Amino acid sequence: MDFTSDNTGALAPQIRDALLSADAGRVPSYGNDPWSQALDRAFAEVFGAQVRVFPVATGTAANALALAHLIPPWGAVLCHEEAHIHTDECGAPEFFSAGGKLVPIGGDHGRLDPSAVAATLAEFPPGSVHQVQPAALSLSQSTEAGTVYGPDAVANLCATARTRGMRVHMDGARFANALAGRAAAPAALTWQAGVDVLAFGATKNGAMMAEAVVFFDLALAEGFALRRKRAGQLLSKSRYVAAQLLAYLADDLWLRLAAHANVMAGRLGVGLKAEGYASVHPVEANEVFVRLPDAMAAALRRGGALFYDWPSRACGPDGRRFVTSFASRAEEVDELLALVRAG
């Protein structure tokens, strides 16, 4: 009953197979192997547009390097107050952007609202030499509250950013979970809505050390190869990451894995609600947040359940986070619910 995170699982079998088949012979290094060379085309098919794709090893690297590429050192990145870039990346976006500033904004259920973004922009008058200049908006998809922005919400936020000529970054560590089981196409949630750069995650959903920075504006990708190298993120044996990403996209594997994770979260959310513990945020992807008294949390842990305490403004002091993944089993969910019932 491991609900701590979606990066605790092993590799998805299809990705392990792809790794093994790439693991033979000698090929050119530093992205010149056949797998890496196939990435732009594979992502272009998924997104229905020409893209430039740069694999990196972590989501933090993907976010920090993408943001550093979008803003000048005096630039500001507007983001949700719970955004991973703000709370969990040890200042990497600020470091790699040579001092850019993150400006956190509140918003219900992990989502930013265009009016709140506009109000924050008003605090930074254009041309004020005393203040950082808003240069990028960052959206997490799915959000840190396990919710999802629909295409219209993304488009409205991008339009608000454009009023000040800002670029838009999307932290897609859980992009697959935002899409799975929904009608929206990858394009509708990204470039068609105005997103310039996506940090595309695979590690949480069946891969390992496999993330990618995806540029929808090809001109914007200029120089990024150098920025990535400078940050130590150009992998000499790129084939191992590229082979994973290709297998991840093939036959919609990424969406199938994420759909399973989302179904498991839905099952957990419904079950907890039936026991009187309604989730704090709508369960729209693969995370469930509930308030559980300490005694209940202790009983669950005694029974073998693993999850994080999640005290926060939204969840209160007794908030707990449960994350499901492609590797979660319905039996684990049901076992946890049985423990809740037993009190």
- Which parts of this chain interact with ligand PLP (CB under 6 A)? 58-60, 63, 84, 140, 144, 171, 173, 203
Please say which residue, 121 or 149, places its beta carbon nearer to ligand PLP.
149
Residue nearest to ligand PLP (CB): 59
Alpha carbon 140 to chain centroid, angstroms: 6
- DSSP assignment of 157-200 equals HHHHHHTTT-EEEEEETTHHHHHTTSS--TTTTTGGGT--EEEE
d(CA 215, CA 199): 9
3-state SS class at 75: strand
Please say which residue, 85 or 292, places its beta carbon nearer to ligand PLP.
85
Please say which residue, 58 or 279, places its beta carbon nearer to ligand PLP.
58
Please say which residue, 69 or 121, places its beta carbon nearer to ligand PLP.
69
Please say which residue, 144 or 196, places its beta carbon nearer to ligand PLP.
144
Q: Answer for the pair 157, 117: CB distance below 8 angstroms, yes or no.
A: yes
Please say which residue, 171 or 332, places its beta carbon nearer to ligand PLP.
171
- Minimum CB separation of residue 29 from ligand PLP in Å reads 23
Element (H, E) at 214: strand 211-215
d(CA 25, CA 43): 26
d(CA 323, CA 332): 12
- Minimum CB separation of residue 5 from ligand PLP in Å reads 7
Minimal CA–CA distance to 240: which of 33, 9, 14, 12? 33
Amino acid at 340: V
Q: Answer for the pair 66, 197: CB distance below 8 angstroms, yes or no.
A: yes
- Minimum CB separation of residue 255 from ligand PLP in Å reads 18
Please say which residue, 140 or 156, places its beta carbon nearer to ligand PLP.
140
Residue 167 bridge partners (DSSP): 136
Q: Answer for the pair 282, 273: CB distance below 8 angstroms, yes or no.
A: no
- Minimum CB separation of residue 211 from ligand PLP in Å reads 6
- Minimum CB separation of residue 17 from ligand PLP in Å reads 23
Please say which residue, 63 or 97, places its beta carbon nearer to ligand PLP.
63
Please say which residue, 211 or 332, places its beta carbon nearer to ligand PLP.
211
State how beta strands 167-172 and 197-201 pair: parallel
Tracing tokens 């897609």 back to the chain, one arrives at: 172
Alpha carbon 253 to chain centroid, angstroms: 17
- DSSP assignment of 122-143 equals HTS-TT-TTS-EEEEEEEESS-
Minimal CA–CA distance to 30: which of 232, 173, 214, 201? 232
d(CA 202, CA 224): 20
